[in-house]
C-alpha cells in the first residue's frame, strides 16, 4: 500500500501544537501537495528577482519581508505580492503572527494558495518544519525480513521464506530483546544517511509462527518487548547450511548489503537444526558494539599472529649461525 500524499491540510493537522498554524486565507487549497522537504524565504522575489525560484517549496515570510512590503506604495505592493502567488507554491507561512497586507489575503483566495499564520519566529518554524518534512518525505522501501533491537543494535534478519526469521525474533524477545517488525520491514532513509526500519501499521507488534499462527508480542510480553522503529545497523542473512560452501571463518573480510543507497554491514549465517542462532545474534550485536568503540577481534588476532611471526623470524635470523 502506497503512503498517503503529504498535503497542506495533513501538515497543519500534524503540527497544530508545535507550529501553532492557523489558516487565514486560501482554505480552498488545503489539498495541495507538498513534495519538497526544504523551505524558502521569498525576499528577493518581492524585490523583483524572479530567476531560479524554487516554486515547489513552502514559502516562509518573516518580519523583514512584511516590513519591506508595507513600505511599498499601493501600486508597487500588489505586483510584488502577486509575483509570489504566480509561482504557485504549496502554501505561504507568515511568522510572528505578523499583520499581512489585505492584498496578500485577496491574492491567496484568488489563486487558491493557503496563507497560514504562526506565532513562532522564522527560525523556529524553519527548524521544526524541515525536521517534519524530512521525516515525512524521506525515501522508503519495503523488504521481506524481521527487525529486532538486540542490546540496542538493530539486527535485520533476511533469508528465504520459512527459514526461521520469526522464530529467532520470538526467541530474542523471550530473552529480553525488542521486536520492531516481522515479515515486512519498511526502511526509511533519514538524514544524515541513517536507515531506519519500522513495521506496517496493520502488522505492528505481530509475529507469524508457522504452525502456530499470529502472536501479539505486546499483549504477551508487554510494552518493554517492542519498539516502533530502530536504526538498521547490521543485516544477518540466514542461509541453509551447505557443506561445500566456504564460509567466513575469521571475519577479516567485510561484506555489505545496499538499501536505498546505503551500505549496511552484512553477515551470512549458515544454519542447521540444533544451532543456537539466538546466542549468535546476541554475540553479533555485542561484537558490533566493540567495533564501534574501536576494537575488532578478527583484526586484533591478525595483528598478534603477524607480530608473532615477525618475532619468530627475527629469532631465527639471529640464531642462524650460532650453532654448536
Helix locations, the chain, DSSP H = 8-14, 43-46, 63-71, 74-86, 102-111, 122-136, 165-174, 217-221, 277-292, 297-318
Catalytic residue status for 96 = no
> Which position among 183, 205, 230, 257 bears the catalytic label?
183
Angle between helices 63-71 and 74-86 (to 10 degrees): 140
Catalytic residue status for 144 = yes
Angle between helices 277-292 and 165-174 (to 10 degrees): 70
> Which position among 37, 165, 227, 257 bears the catalytic label?
165
> Which position among 73, 246, 249, 320 bears the catalytic label?
249
State the Cα–Cα distance between residues 21 and 208, nearest whole angstrom. Answer: 42
Q: Name the residue with cell 497560514.
A: 116
Return the DSSP state at 7.
Answer: B
Per the CB < 8 A criterion, the answer to whether 288 and 265 are in contact is yes
Cell numbers standing for residue 322: 650460532
Catalytic residue status for 178 = no
Cell numbers standing for residue 210: 508457522
> Which position among 33, 144, 160, 314 bears the catalytic label?
144
Catalytic residue status for 249 = yes
Catalytic residues: 144, 165, 183, 249
Amino acid at each position: 500500500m502506497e503512503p498517503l500524499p503529504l498535503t497542506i491540510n495533513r501538515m497543519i493537522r500534524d503540527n497544530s501544537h508545535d507550529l501553532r498554524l492557523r489558516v487565514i486565507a486560501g482554505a480552498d487549497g488545503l489539498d495541495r501537495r507538498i513534495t519538497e522537504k526544504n523551505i524558502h524565504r521569498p525576499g528577493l522575489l518581492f524585490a523583483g528577482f524572479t530567476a531560479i525560484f524554487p516554486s515547489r517549496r513552502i514559502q516562509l515570510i518573516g518580519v523583514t519581508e512584511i516590513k519591506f512590503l508595507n513600505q511599498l506604495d499601493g501600486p508597487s505592493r500588489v505586483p510584488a505580492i502577486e509575483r509570489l502567488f504566480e509561482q504557485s507554491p504549496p502554501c505561504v507561512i507568515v511568522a510572528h503572527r505578523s499583520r499581512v497586507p489585505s492584498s496578500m489575503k485577496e491574492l491567496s483566495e484568488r489563486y487558491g494558495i493557503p496563507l497560514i499564520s504562526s506565532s513562532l519566529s522564522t527560525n523556529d518554524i524553519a527548524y521544526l518544519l524541515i525536521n517534519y518534512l524530512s521525516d515525512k518525505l524521506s525515501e522508503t522501501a519495503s523488504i521481506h525480513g524481521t527487525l529486532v533491537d538486540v542490546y540496542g543494535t538493530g539486527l535485520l534478519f533476511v533469508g528465504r521464506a520459512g527459514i526461521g526469521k520469526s522464530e529467532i525474533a520470538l526467541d530474542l524477545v523471550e530473552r529480553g530483546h525488542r521486536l520492531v517488525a516481522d515479515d515486512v520491514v519498511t526502511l526509511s532513509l533519514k538524514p544524515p544517511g541513517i536507515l531506519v526500519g519500522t513495521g506496517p501499521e496493520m502488522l505492528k507488534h505481530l509475529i507469524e509462527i508457522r504452525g502456530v499462527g499470529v502472536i501479539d508480542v505486546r499483549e504477551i510480553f508487554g510494552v518493554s518487548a517492542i519498539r516502533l522503529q530502530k536504526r538498521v545497523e547490521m543485516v544477518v542473512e540466514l542461509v541453509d547450511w551447505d557443506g561445500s560452501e566456504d564460509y567466513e571463518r575469521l571475519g577479516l573480510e567485510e561484506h555489505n548489503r545496499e538499501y536505498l543507497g546505503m551500505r549496511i554491514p552484512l553477515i551470512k549465517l549458515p544454519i542447521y537444526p540444533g544451532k543456537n542462532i539466538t546466542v549468535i545474534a546476541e554475540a553479533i550485536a555485542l561484537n558490533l558494539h566493540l567495533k564501534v568503540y574501536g576494537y575488532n577481534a578478527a583484526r586484533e588476532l591478525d595483528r598478534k599472529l603477524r607480530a608473532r611471526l615477525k618475532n619468530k623470524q627475527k629469532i631465527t635470523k639471529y640464531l642462524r649461525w650460532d650453532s654448536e
